[in-house]
Amino acid sequence: MNDQPPVRGVAARVTDILAAFLPGDVRLTLTEICRRAGLPLTTGHRLVGELTAAGFLERLPEGSYRVGRRLWRIGAQAAEPRGLRELALPYMADLYAATRENVQLAVLAEDRALCLERLRGPQSVPLFSRVAGDLPLHATGVGKVLLAFAGEETADRVLGGPLPAHTPHTVTDPARLRAELAEIRRTGLAHTLEEMSAGTCSAAAPVLGPGDEVVAALSVVVWRHSADLRRLDPAVRSAARDLGRDLVAAPSAGRKSQ
Amino acid sequence: MNDQPPVRGVAARVTDILAAFLPGDVRLTLTEICRRAGLPLTTGHRLVGELTAAGFLERLPEGSYRVGRRLWRIGAQAAEPRGLRELALPYMADLYAATRENVQLAVLAEDRALCLERLRGPQSVPLFSRVAGDLPLHATGVGKVLLAFAGEETADRVLGGPLPAHTPHTVTDPARLRAELAEIRRTGLAHTLEEMSAGTCSAAAPVLGPGDEVVAALSVVVWRHSADLRRLDPAVRSAARDLGRDLVAAPSAGRKSQ
């Protein structure tokens, strides 16, 4: 190909390499990193070598690469996930201690529910979610809460776009979803029933920041047959409310920065 | 100055800029970033602009910069903090729910105790520690545990180096610290009494990985007068032991990568 891509800055090549690890792959080969970053192997090899020397990447014995601890340390300074998750963790701990189940904290990011923190134990139902990963808005408890309070424009865009069925129970009818969102706004609670993965259900509530805007959603995800979902409602609702009060008392932690 | 620094790779300039945020400063000005990274303002301005465009940094309204959410998302993929902290969180949640106090998980890194996770609530005693920050080995519960099991070479280096007194109660006598480390190896528990900050005390226990090596330390830090420290011992010890069992069952999570 003779069509050269437009000249990009040197920093962009580095960020493209690091962003190759974004989808959650723990290990990538040099070839895979270069393919995702759109770089020739020679350039990629040199830059990956520098990033490894700096501790941003780690080279594993078998030759592949993963994100290094130094990059984790720097990323952990990000103000928004840090402040919000630090304030949320004690409430999530209480919900976990009471249920032994998955407790999740998510924010709206690029029309997805970005998981800021997840607390689960050995007995918790297995889930697709992971910290720093994202989930569909229409098929998850946290997602429905965030979508319900995201405003008309976001709702129109998401409900007008593809609404994949993750299970036979995923609600994919925009009109039915709109009715659910209105109900969530009315009650301040969202429920899902095997809509993201078979056998699980969830209860989720909005977390209000300064100015009463919804800045996050908190949920508990349990086995469908393990608990009365309605019993979770008051626990999730009060944890989300108390977290919101802490956020208002420390407003910088809840500031959005999309 | 005419002395040019040796030519470094382009990636190194980017990592130097990002590492300027390592000490835990939430916000830095462009001038401060360039000073820490050892870059001329013109070069720094261009690279910081590219990093901001990529979402790795965020420019705040008043003109300073902070770490962006995208960098947090990539850093969160780091295998070691992720696996260890995910397995540890449910045990930390139980310790928090039982005490309402600071619960900390740390690993040995560069002769410091690197805090992988911290769980605390509104009533917990204020601490210097923060996630991704590090603490001195000789003056903290997690640090003493890690030092006790780090081997002779590390102990000689740390005890032979500076041992700053963080409070009037910090133990700075190498012989007394050596005796404490032997006692910690014997009992499997470390205690501190106002050695890092006035009014606080802690109990800490080692977390064993596959092969029975110590891979982390778990602690609870409480007000000196709020609790009988000895009551914490069995709780911290059993949480650390159970976490170790989970680590052995999922060995990749506890693999060290210093």
**Domains defined for chain B, CATH in brackets:** 10-74 (1.10.10.10), 79-254 (3.30.450.40)
How many C-beta atoms surround the C-beta of residue B7 within 10 A? 6
Grade residue B4 by pLDDT with cuts at 50, 70 and 90.
Answer: very low
- Cross-chain residue pair B75–A94, CB shorter than 8 Å: no
Res. B191: pLDDT tops 90: yes
Alpha carbons B158 and B139: distance in angstroms, whole number: 12
Tokens of A145: 């809460």
In this model, does residue A129 exceed pLDDT 90?
no
Q: Quick one: closest CA in A to B258, which residue?
A: A69
Check CB contact under 8 Å for A77 and B121. no
Using pLDDT thresholds of 50, 70 and 90, give the confidence band for residue A79.
Answer: confident
pLDDT tens-digit profile of A11-49? 999 999 999 998 777 799 999 999 999 999 999 999 999
Chain B, nearest residue to A73 by Cα: B132
Integer Cα distance of A66 and A217 in angstroms: 30
**Separation between Cα atoms, residue B115 and residue B118, nearest integer Å:** 7
B256 phi and psi angles, rounded to 5 deg: -85, 150
**Is the ipTM reported for this complex over the cut 0.85?**
yes
Of B182, B184, B185, B175, nearest to B202 (Cα)? B184
SS3 (DSSP) at A3 = coil
Residues of chain B with C-beta less than 8 angstroms from the C-beta of A72? 75-76, 78, 81-82, 132
Quick one: average pLDDT of A87-109?
95
Does the pLDDT at position B257 exceed 60?
no
Q: For A210-224, A239-253, B83-97, B108-122, which range has the lowest pLDDT when averaged over its residues? A: A239-253
B45 CA: distance to closest CA in chain A (Å) = 12
**Count of alpha carbons within 13 Å of B111, Cβ hemisphere only?**
12
Give the model confidence (pLDDT) of B17-44 as tens digits: 999 998 777 799 999 999 999 999 999 9
Bridge-partner residues for A219, per DSSP? A104, A204
> What integer pLDDT is reported at residue B8 of this predicted model?
67
The rounded distance, in Å, linking the Cα atoms of A75 and B124 is 25
Share of chain B above pLDDT 90, in %: 79
A97, A119, A132 member nearest B72 (Cβ)? A132
- Report pLDDT for A196: 94
Q: In this predicted model, what pLDDT tens digit does every residue of B68-104 receive, in sequence order?
A: 999 999 999 998 778 899 999 999 999 999 999 999 9
